[in-house]
Structure formats: structure tokens, C-alpha cells
A = this chain, B = another copy of it.
Amino acid sequence: MSDLTTTVSRYLDIWNEADADKRAAAIAELFTADAPYIDPLAAVEGHAGFAAVVAGARDQFKGLGFELHGAVDAHHDQARFQWGLVTEPGAEPIAIGFDVIVTDAEGKIKAVYGFLDKVPAA
């Protein structure tokens, strides 16, 4: 497992962490202080900004999980991957997103650029 695959795994763990304090600690450990997180619905910077986005998504999609969809494609300090929003592990995702994450020399995430491939039915 490459470092970046591990980073993606830890990133998705944050989305799945139910405890807000544990999420905050994991974000502080994994992200640089001013990392931008930008997807079609949110554009924030820094730990508190990203924590709020995750809290909002977890509230909107209560009980659902985020999992890696397909493989992580990584080189240099960047990775691309799809994630799925699922009712249970391995289920057909009700939403699929795509992120590029960029890390710094220490392996911390310094930016997340997100897009959506499949949005939930209204």
C-alpha cells in the first residue's frame, strides 16, 4: 500500500468517523493548517472549515458510509480516486464522487479538489 493509498484511506475514515472530537483530531493530523477543500457544494480552507463540511455531509446522509470506489491512482504527491456513498459496505453507491488530493513533503494533505460523478436521486 503506497503512502498515498494510506492517506486516501485515512481521509475516508474521517468522513466515516461519528465522533466530532476524533474527526477534529484526525483532520489536524492529516491536513496542513490552511489546506483548501473544494467540491461543487463547498469551498473551505483549514481544519475547522473541512470539519464543518464533513459534519454537514454526515448530517445530510445519516447512517450512510463513505468508501473507496475503485482504485487509487497516485504518483508524485498526488492521487485521484472515486468514493461511493453507501448504505452498507460494498452496496451500490447512491452517490459517487471524485477527488484529487495533493500532499506536502511530509505527506500531509495540502489540497482536495472534488467533483461529483453521480448525485443522489432527488
Interface residues of A, Cβ cutoff 8 Å to B:
38-40, 43, 73, 75-78, 80, 98, 100, 102, 111, 113, 115
Which one of B38, B78, B98 lies within 8 Å of A113 (CB-CB)?
A: B78
A80 close to B115 (CB less than 8 A) = yes
Query: In the assembly, what is the distance between CA of A80 and CA of B100, in Å?
Result: 10
Stoichiometry, copies per complex: 2
B contact residues around A73 at 8 Å (CB): 115
Query: In the assembly, what is the distance between CA of A111 and CA of B102, in Å?
Result: 11
B contact residues around A111 at 8 Å (CB): 102
A100 close to B76 (CB less than 8 A) = no
Besides the known contacts A38-B75, A40-B75, A40-B76, 17 further A-B residue pairs in the complex with CB atoms under 8 A apart: A38-B76, A38-B77, A38-B78, A39-B75, A43-B76, A73-B115, A75-B115, A78-B113, A80-B98, A80-B100, A80-B113, A80-B115, A100-B100, A100-B113, A102-B111, A102-B113, A113-B113
